[in-house]
Amino acid sequence: MKLKRVVVTGLGAVTPLGNDVETTWNSLIEGVSGAGPITLFDTEKFKTKFACEVKDFDATAYFDRKEARKLDRYAQFGVIAAKQAVEDSGLDGEGIDKERVGVIFSSGIGGIDTFDQEVGYFFSHPELGPKFNPFFIPKMIGDIAAGHISIIYGFRGPNFGTVSACASSTNGAVTAFDLIRLGKADAIVTGGAEAAITVSGVGGFNSMNALSTRNDSPKTASRPFSASRDGFVMGEGAACMVFEELEHALARGAKIYAEVAGGGASGDAYHLTASHPDGLGAILVMRNALLDANMQPEDIDYINVHGTSTPVGDPSEAKAIKEVFGQHAYNLNISSTKSMTGHMLGAAGAVEALASVLATQNDVVPPTINHAEGDDDPEIDYNLNFTFNKAQKREVRSALSNTFGFGGHNACIIFKKYIK
């Protein structure tokens, strides 16, 4: 069968850099760090006291008080980003067959804040017995953001969330792409949300020594591909895209940001939390995506890398890029927007896909900030263009976005300029 073409017709974002797409994108291009002291809980006894929080967020500005209490913070972010994307796309207009519109919205962890609160209350008040909020379970589960979005708009197409740790929302986007190009849906609202800046979230990652402890300089703590990197900086938020079958989008006069070219998935089969040191899973997933898109390495101009600012992950990804792209690797722009947003875990793939789409549309590559001259790791080839510290203007015909998750889950997606 002939596969259908899929395009991006709507975008939404709630991130540590801004509570909409325009502010987030402008901050990315300007090299703004979203890091600062944690305000969501008391960090006195924690090794890490900072993160990339969403700023100036008041749920009651978006939901009435009763409705807000039914949603964990992660789901609030997800619903708001989805509303932005749906409105941007016009998919909430007249004449839409809602049985042909789906929602695939992901989270790596889900409602961990709700879990902390409910279980914490139970153990601090054992004399009261099991007095749990009736919304405890639906607030906590990782698929519930997709359910809320579907209910709000009456979208009755495929509706679920994917879970593959930090690759969750990329896997969701690739799945949405597949369903549309196979003719099983006309459009899918796809994205990811996370809100794990909590006592157990930060405490758990601290116990693994995964987080930076650069408490004296939070804004410079996320420093991918620098020798002095000491772990990732946790972020939170959500991003959303509307994927749509091309003819369906054209028929209703929708604006088109980019075309979805292909996607890939692979497994490291190596370690619970560490990337394969030789980047074997990363090599495979990028090759799979290029094959799926029927593209050659030379067709890619920009890679938004996983680039978490961890000792093992960064050099292994750089090695993988050199293996897949050969000599063309030195013609690429490479950047880690996690240097600014922090690591948004299950939402990382969605916000980084959004950045990749906007890079192709605007012909500008956001930077990898916080690299100082001389702060070079001997395991990393600095002849590669990591777009350090300043955005670069260039033609971006196509962009590839990498995400790698605990458990060895790898996913990537390719976007290209839309050409009729």
Closest to 308 in 3D by CA, of 319, 297, 317: 317
Distance CA 342, CA 352 (A): 11
Per-residue pLDDT of the chain (420 residues; tens, 9 = 90+): 799 999 999 999 999 999 999 999 999 999 999 999 999 999 999 999 999 999 999 999 999 999 999 999 999 999 999 999 999 999 999 999 999 999 999 999 999 999 999 998 888 888 788 889 999 999 999 999 999 999 999 999 999 999 999 999 999 999 999 999 999 999 999 999 999 999 999 999 999 999 999 999 999 999 999 999 999 999 999 999 999 999 999 999 999 999 999 999 999 998 888 888 888 999 999 999 999 999 999 999 999 999 999 999 999 999 999 999 999 999 999 999 999 999 999 999 999 999 999 999 999 999 999 999 999 999 999 999 999 999 999 999 999 999 999 999 999 999 999 998
Cβ atoms of 361 and 258 closer than 8 Å = yes
Q: CA torsion angle for 329, 317, 281, 212 (degrees, to 10)? A: -160
Please, are residues 72 and 114 in contact by the beta-carbon 8 Å criterion? yes
- As a whole number of angstroms, the distance between CA 122 and CA 7 comes to 47
Q: With H, G, I as helix, E, B as strand and everything else as coil, classify residue 33.
A: coil
Q: Could you give the count of Cα atoms lying within 13 Å of 363 in the half-sphere of its Cβ?
A: 4
Distance CA(173)–CA(191), nearest Å, equals 7
Q: What pLDDT score does 1 carry?
A: 78
Q: Which two tokens stand for residue 87?
A: 């409105």
Q: Which run of H or E residues covers position 353? A: helix 348-362
Query: What confidence score (pLDDT) does residue 124 get?
Result: 85
Catalytic residues, by residue number, are: 166, 306, 343
